[in-house]
Structure 1
Amino acid sequence: MKKLFYLSLVFLLPSGLVAQTGDNSQLFINDMLVLAKNFAQPAADGASYQASAGWFSSATALEKWDLRIAVHGNALFVPNDKKSFNLSNSDLELLEMEGVTSASFPTAFGASTSDYFVGDVTFENPLTGGVLTESVRFKGIDGINRDYVPHAFVQASVGVSAGTEITVRAMPEVAIDGVTASTYGIGAKHSLSQYFNNVYPEDFQLAFGAAYSVLNVDYEFEPISVQNFLTMNHIVVDANLFLAEIIGSKRWSYFEVFAAAGIMNSSFDYEMGGDGIALPRVNEELGEIEGGQTQFKGDLGLNLYFSRFRLNAMLSAGDFFNANIGLAVGI
């Protein structure tokens, strides 16, 4: 009935102009926020695990002014329940799913969808002050369709005084399957074993580590457009990620095993990219769903030492699994 009502108004009034004061554009924006958050949130959560991997792979700190350069590669493994989300028409305020009342849609990790959203968006024309109604129809946003997400970075560590090691890492901007990402961070590790006289390399070592990372992800998708009102074609996620963990390790000659238990706190800022008079409103509303969360994880791994080189392998487990491998050289 609602669609028939709008249709009759279009025939009775000048083209595109509706003689009513109703403006349902806020309802449309609310629906887009629901879609954006459900699409992006699993990827944001997974980013915490990727950004926390590889920081510390031994409780032993470098000697003062010793330098180690490492190249790391890792893979975030995506559980099936992080690849899709369920949605019904009752979850939406204005839009409806075309031909169905509920459906499963991909997250950023998921595959593609053939389901469409439809609706009539009514908004004020900023030039004439009149009210326009535009019909909108768009397909759900497709994901990158991956079971794992690769990630690589360069890391440098230097020993400073008092059993402390400082680490910096960087991954310049790279693009994978329409997703552009970059990350930078700094961390510190402090030996706790020194307070228990465990000063020899082959003693059991215990340390505390902390790190801060900045991650930027830009995901492009097929444009969603309401003529004269709004066009959206990508979403940007800026993440601030904090990690604190206790690390234990034991070395036997060329071989070392380590384990760690950590807590991560992450905060995310979302911004929709595109054009149109409503885009500032969309991003202002996105600000209200920005937030953070706390997650726990465990690390388990081993190191192999060859002269100045160290080969490291690590598995991180929590809501996600992340595998990391690194090759480091001491200078």
Structure 2
Amino acid sequence: MQLTQILTLKMDKVATIVLFLLVITTNQLKAQNAEVFQQIGYLLNDALLYSDKYITPATDAAVYQASSGWMTSAKKKELGEVTFGVNANLFFVPKLDRTFTASNNDFEFFSIEGQNSVEVPTALGNNNQYYLVGDLGGSEVRLKSPEGVNEETVFYPYLQAGVGLWYGTEVLVKYSPKTKLKKGDYQVYGAGLKHNLDQYFSENFNKTIHVSALVAYSKENLSFDFVDIQSAYGTLGINSLGSSIDTYQTQINISKTHKNLEILWGIIFNISDFNYKFDGEKGSIEEIIPLQDILNDRMKDLSKTKRNLIGEFSGRYQFNKFFVQGTLAFGKFVNTNVSLQYEF
């Protein structure tokens, strides 16, 4: 056999071996990548589960904060009459909504380090933290659970104004600047229409009793620090969790006046649409996979609509053209509001 034939045979064997190794390596890489993507899927499922339980108490509370204090008076407003108020809202965080139980049985990717289950804080909870661990492509992912606002009461200020229109109707607007909370922020704004009803009653009706109805819309935006996950594939971009809430409400209030004091009783019914998304900066893992967009698309599964029936009681006292009003809203939660108003 000639030398060239021998070399050709050897080269064919080398090529076959190289090709075989490439096939094995490629299959191994494909298998490894498939496993990594599967693990990322499990991680996303855990993030959805945790974020829902973490933020839901705060979004439920936000509806109460936005819904109370709209009706400053049940009296008929005259055309062009303007009321401007500065409000301080104080929400009392119930103990039952400050924590939830996290268990290893709930997770697909993570496990609680050193424990099977723990009481972890919601967005309205304390600043206790626990380590969650998982494995992503053979590399450990270890993070601290997110903290809550760590406050028993949540305070935010806002401005409200009303202008009297024709036929005993009043247009109302409410606006709060973005209020910084510990580990998050909150903002609400909206508009409403109030219409006086006792103007249609008999002339013999008690003139110290007033009845008005209100329809209003408010927008509540919340955002909380979530978790900053570091992995061998980069940061994941889920360090900020936000919620956008659209609330539509109707209410009716009856008031009784005595000299400079007006006492109001009201009932509120509202419907709120809740939407969630991770609204922080995208992580460096985006070079491999558009993780935040995928996760936010999955977050649409958490969207929900809720209904609330809320009672309201308030007292308003006049001195000259100024008014001081305190309002208590109650139902699942308790929310208080104090307002200083001026009419001109």
TM-score by length of 2: 0.84
- Confirm or deny that 1:76 pairs with 2:91: yes
Contact preservation (8 Å) 1:198, 1:205: no
Secondary structure at the residue paired with 2:228? Answer: strand
The 5-angstrom pairing of residues 57-206 of structure 1 reads 57-121=72-136, 132-197=137-202, 202-206=207-211
Q: 1:18 to 1:150 in 2, by over 3 A?
A: same
Contact preservation (8 Å) 1:63, 1:159: yes
Task: Report percent identity of matched pairs.
Answer: 30
The Cα of 1:283 is off from its aligned counterpart by 0.8
Aligned equivalents of 1:290 and 1:178: distance in 2?
23
Amino acid in the other structure paired with 2:162: S
Q: Which residue of 1 aligns with 2:342?
A: 329
Query: Which of 262, 273, 292 lines up with 1:267 in the alignment?
Result: 273
**Bigger Rg, structure 1 or 2:** 2
The Cα of 1:237 is off from its aligned counterpart by 1.2
Q: Which residue of 1 aligns with 2:311?
A: 298
The Cα of 1:226 is off from its aligned counterpart by 3.1
- Structure having the higher strand fraction is 1
Query: Which of 207, 217, 227 lines up with 1:212 in the alignment?
Result: 217
Aligned equivalents of 1:63 and 1:89: distance in 2?
62
The Cα of 1:322 is off from its aligned counterpart by 0.5
1:150-180 CA-partner distances (Å, limit 9, x unpaired): 0111111011111111101111223122322
Amino acid in the other structure paired with 2:317: L
The Cα of 1:251 is off from its aligned counterpart by 0.5
Q: Which residue of 2 aligns with 1:42?
A: 57
Q: Which ranges in structure 2 are unaligned for 5 or more consecutive residues?
A: 1-24
Aligned equivalents of 1:210 and 1:106: distance in 2?
35
Aligned equivalents of 1:79 and 1:154: distance in 2?
26
- Structure having the higher helix fraction is 2
- Confirm or deny that 1:249 pairs with 2:255: yes
Aligned equivalents of 2:116 and 2:91: distance in 1?
33
Contact preservation (8 Å) 1:225, 1:231: no
Amino acid in the other structure paired with 1:275: K
Q: 1:198 to 1:250 in 2, by over 3 A?
A: farther
- Confirm or deny that 1:56 pairs with 2:56: no
The Cα of 1:268 is off from its aligned counterpart by 1.6
1:12-54 CA-partner distances (Å, limit 9, x unpaired): x99x968443322111101011111111000000000000121
Contact preservation (8 Å) 1:198, 1:204: no
- Confirm or deny that 1:314 pairs with 2:327: yes
Aligned equivalents of 1:239 and 1:225: distance in 2?
30
Q: Which residue of 1 aligns with 2:8?
A: none
1:94-131 CA-partner distances (Å, limit 9, x unpaired): 2111111111110011112232111113xxxxxxxxxx
Amino acid in the other structure paired with 1:24: Q
Q: Which ranges in structure 1 are unaligned for 5 or more consecutive residues?
A: 1-12, 122-131
Amino acid in the other structure paired with 2:187: S
Q: 1:234 to 1:317 in 2, by over 3 A?
A: same
Aligned equivalents of 2:83 and 2:206: distance in 1?
17
Aligned equivalents of 1:309 and 1:145: distance in 2?
36
Contact preservation (8 Å) 1:70, 1:329: yes
TM-score by length of 1: 0.88
RMSD: 2.1
Q: 1:18 to 1:136 in 2, by over 3 A?
A: farther
Secondary structure at the residue paired with 1:275? Answer: coil
The Cα of 1:134 is off from its aligned counterpart by 3.4
The Cα of 1:222 is off from its aligned counterpart by 4.8
Contact preservation (8 Å) 1:303, 1:313: yes
Q: 1:269 to 1:262 in 2, by over 3 A?
A: same
Aligned equivalents of 1:200 and 1:63: distance in 2?
20
- Confirm or deny that 1:285 pairs with 2:305: no
Contact preservation (8 Å) 1:241, 1:264: yes
1:55-111 CA-partner distances (Å, limit 9, x unpaired): 003211311111111111110101000100012111112211111111111001111
Name the count of aligned residue pairs: 308
1:259-290 CA-partner distances (Å, limit 9, x unpaired): 10111211122111242331111111111111
